[in-house]
Amino acid sequence: MIHLAWPWVLLLAPLPLLLRWLLPKAPSAASEALRWPAFGEIVDLADGDTDTKRSRLLEILLASALWLLLLLAASRPQWLGEPVQLPVAGRDLLLAVDLSRSMAQTDFVVNDYRSNRLEAVKKVAGRFLQERQGDRLGLILFGSQPYLQTPLTFDRQTVSRMLEEAEIGLAGRATAIGDAIGLAVKRLSALPAAERVLILLTDGANTAGTLVPLEAARLAADDGIRIYTIGLGADAMRVRSVLGSRVVNPSSDLDEETLTRIAELTGGRYFRVRDTEALEETYQELDRLEPRGDETESFRPVHALYPWPLGLALLLSTLWGGISLRWRA
């Protein structure tokens, strides 16, 4: 739909006619001209010349069109798009995913096939991110060092794609939980928001980095950042060897005490996840604990159209100038 932001500007359309009618005529310069007895005949011939009358009429039409186009551009014509619904409020939510070598452990089942822990996270967390409409989402990948893979954005598709493209060992083989929390605090504290949330997924203990996890958690608590920690890995897994099969604990390195303490310090919660179903239930619980913004407001995208009449006015003025030069020649 076309809309004029300042339609009252069009009321100035008759202004040139009013000025011609109200203002006094310019003084005649006939008294200053040379007298020539035969000049009257030349004037009569000029007044009767058809080409001169046509050129005069064309000038009037071009000037009128040029004036109207300038007024139309000044009235700020706009194209209003279809209404778009946007959430009124949301959260700044960062997802920190462990990419250390232990995430390659195949103690999860995805689509009836045995998969490693990262593949399970991609499947469940990716769907969680897609459903977080109204939140600004970001992604931190960490191993020996943390990296901000995706800054906070409303583009859920990009965040999900970056998570899908993550690979084990991309950030190193160790686990820097404290530095990952520190990076999250730095990114979340720099932006004002009523709700700041970090979801940390790991399957081990802090074995790298310079920042102690509990110190990082205290920094997060001071800035009002809630941290939900998720400990990944099964409690028991049967493995085969040359001596036969035996049952091992693939999560023996998981530091549940520290992860629980991190969540408690920041007002979050610790979740123990042993299989894909438990991971899905965890994200459902996170949806309940951190509900999405349901209230929305609508707006219509606005595209300015004034360049079109302004460009046409420029074209007409160029045409008028060219015609005037031709007549004078």
Tokens standing for 4?
């004029």
Distance CA 226, CA 267 (A): 6
pLDDT at 285 over 60: yes
Q: How far apart are the first and last CA of the chain?
A: 46
Can you give the pTM of this predicted structure?
0.64
Distance CA 305, CA 66 (A): 17
**pLDDT tier, 38 (very low <50, low <70, confident <90, very high otherwise):** very low
What CA dihedral angle connects 242, 244, 247 and 251, to 10 degrees? 10
Domain boundaries, the chain: 2-20+40-81+300-328, 86-297
Question: Does the structural domain 86-297 have CATH classification 3.40.50.410?
Answer: yes
User: pLDDT by residue (tens digit) across 107-162?
Assistant: 898 888 889 999 999 999 998 998 888 788 999 999 999 999 999 998 999 999 99
